[in-house]
Amino acid sequence: METMTISQLSKAYGVTTRTLRYYEEIGLIESVKKEDYAYRTYDDATVRRLQQIILLRKLRIKLQDIARILQNNQAIIAIEVFEECLKDVNEEIKALDTIRYLYETLLLQLRESITELGMLGVVKNDVLLETIQSLPLMKTKLKEEKVRMEDLNKVNETIQRLRDEEVRIIYLPSVTVASAHYIGENPEDQAQSILNQFVKEQKLNETNKGLRVFGFNNPSPKRLGEVYGYEFCVTIPEEFDVPKPLEKKMLEGGMYAVYCIKMGDFEKWPLLWKWVEASQEYDYDRREPLGMDGALEEHLNAPLYYARSGEEQKFIQLDLMVPIRKAKK
């Protein structure tokens, strides 16, 4: 029976190693350990299971529902999940059909009366106004186009745009950090292990109750097969000494567009970048550290993480952070 390492699996199916580890953590897939071999490996059954997970994720099915489908070898479970998803999609289509009709009607009215109107004067028909007011605020925006199976990924991104109220704008002051960096197999695991040992030995969680943990790819592969590394940073007092292999650094800080995700939802990174690109109020501001072009991942509730041990010691949420500046008028 042939097995694949986590890096091989990641490259073969375009899924990040962090996502694979998260899938394993929540019980969606399992790894096996070879004797005298330190790294995770995956057998044929797990590879086939991952293929199913990827297909279901492309259909916008939630991880908890995927777990229900895969853990219960009963068609009725899949039927229940698909029926619920179909209901959601039909509601979306109905709402979009209504909006399309309203656009067509508004355009017809405006073209019939070519006069200067303020925005509040555009909708004059009482029935039309009442219809618009009854609509819920849309969470998604879907282009009207024919959907082919091979285009599911693109459609999935299109219909999952971030709303303005979902993105926070924060200012991160410059902070002194201890950095753990690793390039190679499982770089997040390796770098985090180094950082965890440092925090424990220095009792940093006891002396620095407000400590924060940031991370970023370094280097960040642009294509499958490129060199991949990860760098973890924990905030420390400015006068603190840092032993090797860690390195004492300064995070420049600045303004960031921030979106909170559950651990494992890394496919939402492109949505935040698109939000920044579409923003009229903010521009992207490339700055150090440049591992991910200045973007950071803050692993939230670090004090609670370091207060726990064993299986309970895990990060549950991340803040995705893209550096920005005020747009020039």
Per-residue pLDDT reduced to its tens digit, 155-184:
444 445 678 889 999 999 999 999 999 998
Percent of the chain with pLDDT over 70: 81
- State the average pLDDT over residues 113-140: 52
Question: Contact, 318 vs 296, CB < 8 A?
Answer: no
The kind and range of the H/E element at 217 are: strand 213-217
Structure tokens at 117: 């109107």
Beta-bridged to residue 216, according to DSSP, are 231
Question: Shortest CA distance to 215 belongs to which of 305, 308, 319?
Answer: 319
From CA 157, how far away is CA 267, in angstroms rounded? 9
End-to-end CA distance of the chain: 62
From CA 72, how far away is CA 45, in angstroms rounded? 16
**How sure is the predictor about 320, in pLDDT bands with cuts at 50, 70 and 90?**
very high
DSSP assignment of 110-124, as one string?
HHHS-----GGGS--
Close Cβ partners of 155 (under 8 Å, ≥ 6 residues apart)? 142, 147
Using N-to-C axis directions, what is the helix angle for 44-58 and 63-71, rounded to 10°?
A: 130
| pLDDT tens-digit series, residues 238-289 | 999 999 999 999 999 999 999 999 988 888 898 899 999 989 899 999 999 9
Residue the block writes with tokens 């998604």: 140
Question: Contact, 19 vs 266, CB < 8 A?
Answer: yes
Residue 38 confidence (pLDDT): 64
Beta-bridged to residue 317, according to DSSP, are 262
Question: Contact, 235 vs 257, CB < 8 A?
Answer: no
| pLDDT tens-digit series, residues 23-79 | 988 889 998 876 666 677 899 999 999 999 998 988 888 899 999 999 887 889 999
Residue 127 confidence (pLDDT): 54
